[in-house]
Structure 1
Amino acid sequence: MPTPWSRRGFVKATGGAAAALSLAGTASATVPTSPAHAAPAEFENLRATWRGLVLGSGFSPTAEPFASKLAQLGRSAAGWRSTMRPAPGSLWPDMVWLDPEPDTDTESYAYSAQIQLTFQRLRSMAEAYAQPGTGLTGDDAFAQDVVTGIRHTVGDVYHAGRARYGNWYNWQIGGPQALLDTAIILYDHLDAELIATITEAVRSFVPDSAVASYTGTSTGANRVDLCRTIALSGLVGEDADRLAVAAGALSPVFPYVTSGDGLYRDGSFVQHTWVPYAGSYGADLFTGLSLLLALLAGSPWEVTDPARQNYFGAVERAWAPFLYNGLCMDAVSGRAISRGLPPGDPKGANDDHLRGHSIIASIVALGGAASTEQNARWRALAKGWIQRAHFSPPHTNPMLSVHKLAQLHSVVDDTAVKPLPEPVEHRLFPSQDRAVHRRRGWAACLSMASDRIAHYEWGNGENLRGYHTGAGWLSWWGDDYANEQYSQTFWATVDPNRLPGITASQKRLADGQGGQWGAERPAVKWVGGTTDGTYAAAGQHLKGLASTLEARKSWFFLDEGIVCLGAGITASDGEAVDTVIDNRRLGPTGTNALTVDGHRKPASTDWTETLTDPSWAHIASHGGYVFPAGGRVTALREERTGRWSDIRTGSSTTPFTDRYLTLYVGHGTDPVDGAYAYVVLPGAGAARTAAGAASVQGLLRTLANTPQAQGIHVPSLGFTAVNFWTAGTVGDLTADAPCSVLIRRRRDGTAAVCVSDPTRTLTTLTVTWRHRVTAVVSRPGTVERAVPGRDLTLTFGDLTGEAGATQKVVVKTE
């Protein structure tokens, strides 16, 4: 049954929200202007719409999972009511927001965070009053206690004239948004004086000038959040001008960017200038946009900028590629990977699944403002993600709000929506140094760094040991296995120097090494690759963080697995250097068997063993690994204990223990020109892994693995790819400058020749393929000359403006 709304205006919410979601997709760009005389009813309608959006509608409060979630909300709210103790410097004794003389910036940040947390607690209490089934629904005495809490907090700390301290975010976004939500939910309980105090405070901390220029902390997701704060203050204060400012200030967010914060044409999303952030800040941006577009649709302040279509298109270009079986890949979540939940929570982390559920709900909500076709497709995508979320179903998500849960259930319960399967594709994101590879049954994500993208980000005491997440970290998941691999307590317990896929010095770095907010970036340009949309070659000129380590790393993404090559591995720090083939979290009691060349290793104790010239290895319930050139591989089974407070200041100190099984190539201390070669086979059984090792020489040819070039040839796929680190010749390919080349011959007699300039520095490039070509079928404008014949010679013009994108030429072959 529909949600019962309490008091004046609530009955309008459901209808208002539905009307708001009919936003036209082809309106002309206009900057909203304030109506000369906005009637009070206009603001009341918008407040009702907002209540419908943030409280949800169309769900049964007596059905699960809503009944339990609402009951828990009521219990929490009743507990907060009983412990509320207004006093100078706090509303609750456990949330002190002011120390006159904090000793450090960290303390100052912590005190400002308590303001936000106080408002968020009040907001939850207001929701307990407005939602059905909480035990506090419509209790006016309880609502008045919440108002008392608002009055005390704005009077004591969050008021006009107060000097800001700590984190700006708590004062301009997190805190005021929770305060304004509370004020809108309990609007009928507020007197004129308190309304004026609230709006004056918000205007003081978030003036119109906060969105006057698109710079600093007023870009990307932050800009959308600031607009949300300003718009809500306009609703509470019935200020038409504030609504106009908020609506108009969204426009700078919509255009594609070529550097810094925002959405790129290749689907990259960056925040804090250097950090891939679709899974955290990008999720906030999606949430904010979906809410603001729905709120203002049909009003005098409707957002009609046609460039907003860029974000509708980005659902499948920028966000969907990083969603898999309900989870959001950590490689685009920045420092959010370090956020643990309170002690005692069985999940142990605000992990990839919990973030993924929220993003899916935001996509569903944004669909209400998109075209009919887009909305239908997004709902089909969402249903597929939800149905495949076996490990962590959304209805068990403790972080998911009632309204987002209602959005997901609206898809699940809609029998007309048919779930879409995961696509088979490769997506390369040159502008954020990320790649995603999908096959039936598994998916993988590659994380790199360059002079454009930071090694990692830490800030606000978060993600203190994420320093190697840009060093070639290769993560992968199965369709119905290993979905929890990087979830739960992974980041609290994993060895940060041995993330899967990375090459790193074993030098122990200081917490937060390299500076805050993604300040540290390697001085390298050749990072990226090329793809035909199905297969790919990716490469990274690696320079280590706070070390002399240098290497060339390449990955070739195929149907059954990923071929990984490394060369030129050199360092002089007096430390060992390792390349981590994989590092699988087995859980607290995991005894997954490791089998090497048919021999099973002990599964119940900690041990280390160096394997000499192995052909293959297999980890039960995970996958296989093939070593075409043998070499020396170290296997390590260990138990590790960690705490969220180890990687995030002020987080849970509860210890967690996990068992890990690690395979790595040890290059020794101060290696010179070290190398490696291995193939990862996600989901492969032991028999298939052994068979792959037995036939690898016939199926896979390594064309080069040197500091000058790395390449492979797979005859059965008609696949050849080479990453040229310098000009040179490898097999049938010659390039006169550093580049990435991929050729795929098709059964229809055509071939796709894909070329890219990962360095973004080439003003000319010539690539020759020594293979007979009879005609050029298609070519991009960057190709100045294409000469078929006994050989194919392609001459490219200026590639500096192509942002590392693949240039695809289709030719006819004999």
Structure 2
Amino acid sequence: MQTSRRALLSLFPAATLLAVAQPLQAWAGSPPAGTAADAAADHAVLLGNVVAMFAGTADSNARPEVGAKLAAIDATARARLTALDRAGQGELFRGVPLGTSDTNLTTSFQYLYEIALATRTPGTTASGLRDNVAVQTRVVDGLVRLYDDYYGTQSKGYYGNWFTWEIGISSHVSKILVLLKDRLAQYRPGLTAAYVASMDAYLRNGKDGDVDLDSRFHTGANLADITTNRILQGAVLDDGARIGKAIADQLTVFATVAPYPPRHGVTDGFYADGSFIQHASVAYTGSYGTGLLTRVVQTLKILDGTSYAQDIDGLVDTVRTWVVDGFAPLIFEGWMMDMVKGRAVSRTATGYDSVAAVVEAVVDLSSCASGSDATALKGYVKYLERTSKAVLDPKSFVSPVSIARYAALLADASVPAKDLNPAERNVAFNAMDRTVHRRPGYAFALARSSTRISKYEYMSGENLMPWFQGDGAHHLYLRGQDQTQVFGVDHYTAVSPYRLAGVTAPVENRRTIPELYGTLWYDNPGRGFTSSSESQNTYVYFPRGTNTFSGGASLGAYGAAGLVQADDAAYAAKQAGTLPDDFVVYRNAEATKSWFMFDDEIVVLAAGVGDPAGRPVTTTVDSRIAAPSDAVTLTGELRTGRAWSGPGTAPLAWLRYANRDQGTAVGYVFLDAQHPTVALETVTRSRRLVRASNPDTMVSKQVFSVSVDQAAGARPTSMAYALVPHATETALTSYARGPVTVLANTPRIQAVQHAGLRMVAANVFAPGTHHAGRLSADGPASVILQEAPDGTIRVAVSDPTMERDAVSVTVRGRRMKAVSVDDGVRVGRVRGGTRLDITTRHAHGRSFTATLL
């Protein structure tokens, strides 16, 4: 986030900083028990752990697998020293001008850290940098210059991005203070205290130079970063109270978010269903969540062997649960799913890169776990290494120690490679409006939004065209393919933002934030719009929807999800007259949608699809990309039984997309009478189209799309189709005889029956009682029923609005009794069937199940 709160700049004059840099023993938290000598010994161990984590140890660095990392550390430091030698006026490093760019100031501190790191890294002695006092002195001199000219004087600081001042710079400086603690004490004895005092003063969103747990800035992964920095600062100052307070603050991040009400008003963090949220409403497991995972595992390593470790007892099991329920469902063959990466989807780093950070954390976590838990985590690391379509480069790991552990783990024949996911899994991440449906050959990932969860995230010139990413957009990941060829930044570059898979969008041309306002945000301080204001967040950076129905039920490995598509918060506020006249908003199209997820197919129903404003509307069944040279074939059959003749608009019964070079295929079965439009074209665009700071790299892709188009002024319509991963033409032809039957498809209820699975699933959107097959449900609700051959019936029910106190469902037919039920479910017999009354108050969208006989 950016900030322009220049009025705060003079609050902490530099001359007062050293005076307040004494250990703050009055802070909450407790130092280690025992004597001062015990505390000093604790801090020495802690500091040693930090150095070992970033620089490695003599043992870890002696392993040949660590050699590439050591060479990279050395080469980077030498490049930074060359840039230091060649710096011009107004620079500390060549090509990094200072004074107007907070990014360049952060980069300068980063370069100093990279030099300092090489001087403390065992195994680099031959290079001449290890323990090189002259080089360390140059780093200290650089710290002095940056402090005196650009950082220490508070009136010159806090321009640009708030993150720079509260987290970014502090992260680099805190590590330098640890790495060069002895050199600083000998050469510049007051500099450490001065820097810590400045870092305290730059916590403008905190309280009295410390963390404020009620601040919207000090939450989730951001809070973990801040508190980790403060642990290191406390150690170099020999300040046990500071360390204790930082640990206590960080522990709040690791508690499962309890939303009724959230502690300190904070909704950021992990939820009971495995969801992770950052920025109050953004589904963010794959970026901020990964950062939080890294930080917590680093905390375990930093505190190991100290008396502070007792404060984090039980944390290993908590983090293991995050990995099993939060991360594993979102990783498919080594790729982090795009729908949980916020604005990071527009960056050039791949989903494989994101998983490398997870792997490092799991490697280290496995060394802290024991018994079957440790074996399972190690087995998962091996599984990811073997199934990923990109070679995992451990050189990207932060710690040389982690590389050594990773190498030893892979070489351990006693640990079998095994996924943490069962082969078949359906996960309703309803707390963050996401659904994942996994089968051995594919993973289906669905992104939704609501009054609770943002439609998308745009910020800082990243993810410039995100408008429909939370409107039922899906990613269908197929076994065996290199995901960089079909998803990631190139997918968002090549595919039109109005034609993302699964999306219903009006046909119009929207403008990006920089195009609209000439800046990276809407600047209107008089109306409360500064770059990191709550108004900016609410209406520009990550607007939520205006619909409450978004969610669904899971029954074992099967799932149902529903969404009432609606306008975002900005459009609603503009209609209410609460936004400035020059603030631009866009109206959405309307649709009510359901996704019913089975074994071989995902059935999609849509009703009330149209536009009250009369614009043309496009519903994209799917969009996929391929390399220009890939052999892509399209085959299909018309509803008349004749063969389809090629791209265009036609009354299709089914369509098959196949990429021979990727070895993948997807089928599309149209369950009602539609005239889909099929297109296959080569598109060339720059990656800068989706992120202002991306290299101007041109991307050429074959773009396939199949859509249902509605003309301007057309009446709302409905549609029903199925996505069939890895489909053969024979399998697609068989859908004319089943197994899927559409029972209802209206804006009030959508339901299907799967004969092969003996299953009925329904989403009820409207109040009142609605019927589908053997089911009757009072809405809003999501319900799945499956009958076993022996007559046993299992039922799952959820409240996708998260607003109801209770939901009632009736299974019509013979009267049954309960075999097992979840807490909150009551079973009773009624005329014509069996009634389930489910207490859904404060269930946060989770599914309740019952087994009847």
Report the equivalent of 1:479: 479
1:766 aligns to 2:779 (yes or no):
no
Q: Tell me, which stretches of 5 or more residues in structure 1 are unaligned? A: 1-29, 100-110, 340-348, 603-607
C-alpha separation in 1, matches of 2:215 and 2:108: 29
Post-superposition offset of 1:137:
4.3
CA contact (8 A) 1:583 1:663 kept: yes
- Stretch moving more, 289-298 or 432-441: 289-298
- What aligned pairs does 1:81-120 form with structure 2 within 5 A after superposition? 81-84=81-84, 85=86, 89-99=90-100, 111-120=101-110
Return the offset for 1:202.
2.3
* Cα displacement (A) at 1:305: 5.0
- Among 290, 293, 313, the alignment partner of 1:286 is 293
1:523 to 546, 549, 565: 546
| C-alpha contact (below 8 Å) 1:786/1:794 kept by paired residues | yes
Question: Is 1:299 the counterpart of 2:306 in the alignment?
Answer: yes
State the secondary structure of the residue aligned to 2:36.
coil
Matched with 1:632 is 675
Going from structure 1 to structure 2, the CA distance change for 1:88 and 1:204 (only over 3 Å counts) comes to: farther
For residue 722 of structure 1, give the secondary structure of its aligned residue in structure 2.
Answer: strand
Shift of 1:646: 2.3
Q: Secondary structure at the match of 1:795?
A: strand
- Do the aligned partners of 1:53 and 1:403 also contact (CA within 8 Å) in 2? yes
What do residues 706-750 of structure 1 show as CA deviations (whole Å, max 9, x unaligned)? 111111111111111011112322232222322111001123431
- Secondary structure of the residue aligned to 1:392 is coil
Check if 1:703 corresponds to 2:710: no
Instruction: Tell me which moved more, 433-442 or 136-145.
Output: 136-145
Q: Which amino acid aligns with 1:694?
A: S
Q: CA deviation at 1:139?
A: 6.0
Structure 2: how far apart are the matches of 1:122 and 1:181? 10
Change (3 A) 1:406 1:554: farther
1:566 aligns with 2:606: yes
Partner of 2:23: none
- Report which stretch shifted further, 307-316 or 286-295: 307-316
- Contact 1:627–1:693 (Cα < 8 Å) also in 2: no
Contact 2:331 2:355 in 1 (8 A): yes
* Paired residues, number: 752
Q: Is contact 1:160–1:200 with CA below 8 Å preserved after alignment? A: no
Q: 1:117 to 1:682 in 2, by over 3 A?
A: farther
| Contact 1:296-1:303 within 8 A present in 2 as well | no
Give, in whole Å, the separation in 2 of the partners of 1:771 and 1:427.
30
CA distance change for structure 1 residues 679 and 443 in 2, over 3 Å: closer, same or farther? same
Check whether the contact 2:463–2:690 (CA below 8 A) recurs between aligned residues: yes
When residues 395 and 482 of structure 1 are mapped into structure 2, their CA distance, relative to the original with a 3 A threshold, is closer
Unaligned segments of structure 2, at least 5 residues: 1-27, 517-521, 523-535, 569-585
Quick one: distance in 1 between partners of 2:329 and 2:170? 33
Equivalent residue, structure 2, for 1:331: 339
* One-letter amino acid matched to 2:231: A
CA gap 1:796/1:716 in 2 versus in 1, 3 angstroms: same
The one-letter code matched in structure 1 to 2:636 is V
Q: In structure 2, do the counterparts of structure 1 residues 81 and 452 end up closer, same or farther at CA, with 3 Å as the change threshold? A: same
Rounded to whole Å, the distance in 2 between the matches of 1:175 and 1:662 is 45
Displacement after TM superposition at 1:367 (Å):
3.3
**Matching residue of 2:653:** 614
1:397/1:552 CA distance change after superposition, 3 Å: farther
2:194 matched to 1:197?
Answer: yes
Separation in structure 2 between the aligned mates of residue 735 and residue 525 of structure 1, nearest angstrom: 18
Aligned positions of 1:714-793 closer than 5 A: 714-726=754-766, 727=768, 728-787=770-829, 790-793=832-835
Deviation at 1:271, TM superposition (A): 0.8
Which amino acid in 2 is paired with 1:649?
Answer: A
Q: Which amino acid aligns with 2:633?
A: A
- Of 152, 156, 168, the match for 1:159: 152
Bigger Cα displacement from structure 2, 575-584 vs 466-475: 575-584
Matched residue SS, 2:779:
coil
Superposition RMSD on alpha carbons, in Å? Answer: 2.7
Change (3 A) 1:397 1:434: farther
Q: Distance in 2 between matches of 1:696 and 1:384?
A: 39
Amino acid in structure 2 at the alignment position of 1:217: F
Pair 1:307–1:222, CA change in 2 (3 A)? farther
Give the TM-score taking structure 1 as reference length: 0.87
The aligned residue for residue 535 of structure 1 is 558
Q: Which residue of 1 aligns with 2:619?
A: 579
CA distance in 2 between partners of 1:690 and 1:67 (Å)? 53
2: CA distance, partners of 1:587 / 1:179: 44
1:785 Cα deviation from its structure 2 partner: 4.4
Counterpart of 2:449 in structure 1 is: 449
- Partner residue in 2 for 1:411: 409
1:243-282 correspondence to structure 2 within 5 Å = 243-257=243-257, 258=259, 260-282=267-289
- Report the 3-state secondary structure (helix = DSSP H, G, I; strand = E; otherwise coil) of the residue aligned with 2:190: helix
2 CA distance for matches of 1:543 and 1:467? 12
**Conserved? CA contact 2:360–2:397, under 8 Å:** no
Partner residue, 1:13:
none
- Structure-2 separation of matches of 1:358 and 1:197: 33
Deviation of the 1:529 alpha carbon? 0.7
| Aligned equivalent of 2:130 | 138
Please say if 1:678 is aligned against 2:679.
no
Counterparts of 1:199 and 1:88 in 2: how far apart (Å)? 28
% same residue: 27
Q: Do the aligned partners of 1:247 and 1:303 also contact (CA within 8 Å) in 2? A: no
* Residues 56 and 657 (structure 1), Cα distance of their counterparts in 2 relative to 1, 3 Å cut: farther
Structure 1: distance between partners of 2:359 and 2:790: 39
Aligned equivalents of 2:111, 2:158: Cα separation in 1 = 21
Q: Deviations over 1:621-671 (max 9, x none)?
A: 232222222411111112223333322233322322222111111123344
CA contact (8 A) 2:596 2:603 kept: yes
In structure 2, the residue matched to 1:42 is 42
Distance in 2 (alpha carbons) for counterparts of 1:640 and 1:125:
44
**Residues 573-603 of structure 1: per-residue CA shift (max 9 Å, x gap):** 453211211111102433421222396878x
Deviates more, 1:658-667 or 1:71-80: 71-80
Contact kept in structure 2, 1:742 and 1:753, CA below 8 Å? yes
Secondary structure of the equivalent of 1:694?
A: helix
Shift, 1:787, TM fit: 1.6
Deviations 1:671-716 (A, max 9, x none): 43222222112223xxx24323334433111111111111111111
When structure 1 is superposed on structure 2, of 769-778 and 688-697 the one drifting more is: 688-697
Q: Sort the Cα spacing of 1:94 and 1:753 in 2 relative to 1 into closer, same or farther, 3 A.
A: same
C-alpha distance in 2 between matches for 1:622 and 1:52? 48
Counterpart position of 1:23: none
Residues 193 and 690 of structure 1: is their aligned pair in 2 closer, same or farther, counting only changes over 3 Å? same
- Aligned equivalents of 2:508, 2:310: Cα separation in 1: 52
Q: Using structure 2 for the length normalisation, give the TM-score.
A: 0.83
Alignment of 1:313-352 (within 5 A): 313-339=321-347, 349-352=348-351
**SS at the partner of 1:590?**
coil
Displacement, 1:477? 1.4
SS of the aligned residue for 1:492 comes to: helix
Cα distance in 1, alignment partners of residues 352 and 43 from structure 2:
37
Q: Partners in 2 of 1:668 and 1:414 — Cα distance?
A: 62
2:490 equivalent in structure 1: 489
Find the aligned partners of 1:530 and 1:286 in 2 and give their Cα distance: 28
Counterpart CA distance in 1 for 2:336 and 2:605 is 27
The secondary structure found in structure 2 opposite 1:669 is: coil
Q: State the one-letter code of the partner of 1:589.
A: S
1:88·1:156 contact (CA, 8 Å) conserved in 2?
no
Name the counterpart of 1:17.
Answer: none
Q: Distance between the aligned counterparts of 2:225 and 2:782, measured in 1?
A: 39
Partner Cα separation in structure 2 for residue 310 and residue 508 of structure 1: 46
Work out whether 1:802 is the aligned partner of 2:843. Answer: yes
Q: Does 1:593 align with 2:591?
A: no
For the residues of structure 2 that align with 1:707 and 1:444, how far apart are their CA atoms?
Answer: 24
Opposite residue 50 of structure 2, the aligned amino acid is W
Is 1:440 aligned with 2:425?
no
- Aligned mate of 2:753, from 687, 691, 713: 713
